[in-house]
C-alpha cells in the first residue's frame, strides 16, 4: 500500500502557515537595509531567512533525522555587522514559533507560547538546509520565499516545501499569502491560500486559516482557449520564446505574468493552463526547491510536467535539476500539443542560429 504521509503533510502545512504569517507581517515593515544581495546578485531579505529558520525548526523537531535542501544559508548573517539583521530575525522567528496553536498544530512540534529559540539555534536551523540532495533516501526541500523579487514589489511569492523520497516528490505544500482566494485575475480582496498534494491522493487548496479545503483539478480546454503562465522577470525565462509558442498554438489570450510557484498553484486550479519556462542562459540549472512542490501539485491536479525535451524532471541529482532544460507544465489533454509547439519553436531558433 502506498504511504499516506499524513503526519508529514500536517507538519508541512503547519510550518508553511506560520511562515506565511511571518512573511506577510514583514512586508509591511521591511526597510531597505533588511535586504541583502547574494553572491549571484539575487536578493534575500530577513523574511527569507526567518521563514527558513521557522520551517527548519519545526521540521527538525518533528523529523529530527530528515535532511533539508534549503535555498538559504546563514553565512552572511554570521558576519560582523549583521547584528541588526540577526536581532530582527530572532524576534520574527520567535513571534512565529510562539503564536498560539491553531487548527492542526501540535505542541510537540515545538510550537506555541514559551517555545522561544536562541539566536544560535535559529542560525543553526537555517544551516540545516545544507543537504546536497541525491538519488537515495528521504529529504525535504524548502524555498522559504520563492519569488523574492515579487515579494519585494508587493506581488506574488510563495513558501514552498516538498518531501522527496528516492528522487520522487511525494508531498508538496505551497503557501501563497498574496494570491486571491478566487482566481488570479479577479480583484478579490480576500487573499491567501495553501496548496497541497500527496502522490496518489490528489491536490487541494486550503484556506490560510485551515478551516476550509477544496479539491483542485485542471479543467480540460481547447488549445485556442489556453492561457500561458510565465515569469515576470525576463532574466528568469525566455518570454519571447513563449510568444512564439503562443502564436504557433493559436493562443489569443495575453499571458498571465506572476512571480513564484504561485504559477503552479494557478495552473492546478485552472487559472491558466500552461506554464512555460525556457532558459535564457542554457547553462543555468534550475533549483529543485523552485519546482518540487509545484511538480507534484500539477501532477495530482491532473497535469503533466516535463522539460522542453519531454523528459521528466529529475529531483534526485542534487540541489539542481541538472541537465533538464526548461519546464513545460500543462493539463494532460494539452501537454502533448504544447510540447510539440515548444519543439517546433526550438528547431526554428536553432536553424536561425546556424
Out of ligand A3P, Mg ion, none, what residue 284 binds, judged by CB under 5 to 8 A for its kind, is ligand A3P
**Angle, helices 119-127/46-62, rounded to nearest 10 degrees:** 90
Q: Which of 73, 146, 259, 307: binder of Mg ion (CB under 5 A)?
A: 146
**Phi and psi for 164 in degrees, rounded to 5?**
-115, 130
Of the residues 45, 57, 141, 148, which is catalytic? 148
The contact mask relative to Mg ion for 1-40 (x = CB under 5 A, - = no) is ----------------------------------------
Question: Is 290 marked as a binding-site residue?
Answer: yes
CA distances from 26 to 47, 61, 95 (A): 6, 25, 12
Residue 6, helix vs strand vs coil: helix
What is the distance between the alpha carbons of residues 279 and 241, in angstroms, rounded to a whole number?
Answer: 10
How far is Cα 140 from Cα 163, in angstroms, rounded to an integer?
A: 4
Q: Which of 284, 312, 336, 347 binds ligand A3P (CB under 6 A)?
A: 284
Contact between 246 and ligand A3P by CB under 6 A: the answer reads no
Residue 231 interface partner, choices ligand A3P, Mg ion, none, CB cut-off 5-8 Å depending on type = ligand A3P
- DSSP states along 219-248: PP--GGG--EEE-S-TTTS-HHHHHHHHHH
Q: Using alpha carbons, select from 136, 183, 145, 205 the residue that is nearest to residue 164.
A: 136
Nearest residue (beta carbon) to Mg ion: 146
Q: CB-side exposure of 77: number of CA atoms within 13 Å?
A: 28
Which of 105, 5, 3, 4 shows the shortest CA–CA distance to 54? 105
166 annotated binding-site participant: no
- The reply to whether 73 sits near ligand A3P by the rule CB under 6 A is no
Is residue 124 a known part of a binding site?
no
The strand ranges marked E within the chain are 35-37, 43-45, 68-70, 138-146, 158-165, 168-180, 191-198, 202-207, 213-216, 228-230, 256-257, 274-277, 303-306, 327-331
Under 8 Å between Cβ of 84 and 59: no
Q: Does 306 bind ligand A3P (CB under 6 A)?
A: no
Are 303 and 197 a contacting pair, CB within 8 Å?
Answer: no
CA dihedral 181, 182, 184, 190 (to 10 degrees): -40
Residue 249 or 267 having the CB closest to Mg ion: 267
Smallest gap from residue 275 Cβ to ligand A3P (A): 9
Concerning whether 256 is annotated as a catalytic residue, the answer is no
Q: Is 148 one of the annotated active-site residues of the chain?
A: yes
Q: Does 238 bind ligand A3P (CB under 6 A)?
A: no
The reply to whether 316 sits near ligand A3P by the rule CB under 6 A is no
Q: Which stretch binds ligand A3P (CB under 6 A): 169-177, 181-189, 227-235, 313-321?
A: 227-235
Q: Per the annotation, does 40 bind a ligand?
A: no
User: Pattern of binders to Mg ion over 54-73, x per CB under 5 A?
Assistant: -----------------x--
Cα distances from 237 to residues 200, 203, 229, 284, in angstroms, run 30, 26, 11, 11
Minimum distance from residue 46 beta carbon to ligand A3P (Å): 15
Judged by CB under 5 A, which of 8, 73, 143, 230 binds Mg ion? Answer: 143
List residues near ligand A3P by CB under 6 A. Answer: 42, 71, 143, 145-148, 150, 231, 233, 235-236, 259-260, 279-281, 284, 287, 290
Which residues participate in the annotated binding site for Mg(2+)? 71, 143, 145-146, 290
Catalytic residues: 48, 148
List residues near Mg ion by CB under 5 A. Answer: 42, 71, 143, 145-146, 148, 290
Amino acid at each position: 500500500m502506498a504511504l499516506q504521509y499524513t503526519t508529514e503533510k500536517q507538519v508541512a502545512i503547519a510550518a508553511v502557515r506560520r511562515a506565511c504569517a511571518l512573511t506577510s507581517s514583514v512586508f509591511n515593515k521591511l526597510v531597505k537595509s533588511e535586504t541583502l544581495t547574494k553572491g549571484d546578485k539575487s536578493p534575500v531579505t530577513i523574511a527569507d531567512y526567518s521563514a527558513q529558520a521557522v520551517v527548519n525548526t519545526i521540521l527538525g523537531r518533528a523529523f529530527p533525522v530528515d535532511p533539508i535542501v534549503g535555498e538559504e544559508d546563514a553565512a552572511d548573517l554570521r558576519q560582523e555587522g549583521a547584528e541588526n539583521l540577526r536581532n530582527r530575525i530572532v524576534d520574527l522567528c520567535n513571534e512565529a514559533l510562539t503564536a498560539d496553536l491553531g487548527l492542526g498544530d501540535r505542541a510537540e512540534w515545538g510550537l506555541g507560547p514559551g517555545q522561544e529559540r536562541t539566536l544560535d539555534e535559529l542560525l543553526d536551523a537555517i544551516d540545516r538546509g545544507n543537504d546536497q540532495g541525491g538519488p537515495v533516501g528521504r529529504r525535504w526541500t524548502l524555498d522559504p520565499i520563492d519569488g523574492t523579487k515579487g515579494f519585494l514589489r508587493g506581488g506574488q511569492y510563495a513558501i514552498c516545501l516538498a518531501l522527496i523520497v528516492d528522487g520522487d516528490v511525494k508531498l508538496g505544500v505551497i503557501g501563497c499569502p498574496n494570491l486571491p482566494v478566487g482566481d488570479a485575475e479577479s480583484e478579490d480582496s480576500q487573499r491567501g491560500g495553501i496548496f497541497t498534494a500527496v502522490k496518489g491522493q490528489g491536490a487541494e487548496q486550503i484556506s490560510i486559516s485551515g478551516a476550509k479545503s477544496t479539491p483542485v483539478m485542471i479543467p480540460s480546454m481547447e488549445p485556442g482557449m489556453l492561457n500561458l503562465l510565465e515569469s515576470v522577470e525576463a532574466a528568469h525565462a525566455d518570454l519571447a520564446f513563449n510568444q512564439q509558442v503562443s502564436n504557433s498554438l493559436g493562443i489569443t489570450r495575453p499571458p498571465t505574468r506572476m512571480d513564484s510557484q504561485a504559477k503552479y498553484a494557478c495552473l492546478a486550479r485552472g487559472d491558466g493552463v500552461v506554464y512555460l519556462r525556457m532558459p535564457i542562459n542554457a547553462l543555468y540549472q534550475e533549483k529543485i526547491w523552485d519546482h518540487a512542490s509545484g511538480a507534484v501539485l500539477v501532477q495530482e491536479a491532473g497535469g503533466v510536467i516535463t522539460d522542453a525535451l519531454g523528459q521528466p524532471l529529475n529531483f534526485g541529482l542534487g540541489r539542481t535539476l541538472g541537465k533538464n532544460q526548461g519546464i513545460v507544465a500543462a493539463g494532460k489533454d494539452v501537454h502533448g500539443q504544447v510540447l510539440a509547439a515548444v519543439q517546433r519553436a526550438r528547431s526554428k531558433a536553432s536553424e536561425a542560429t546556424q
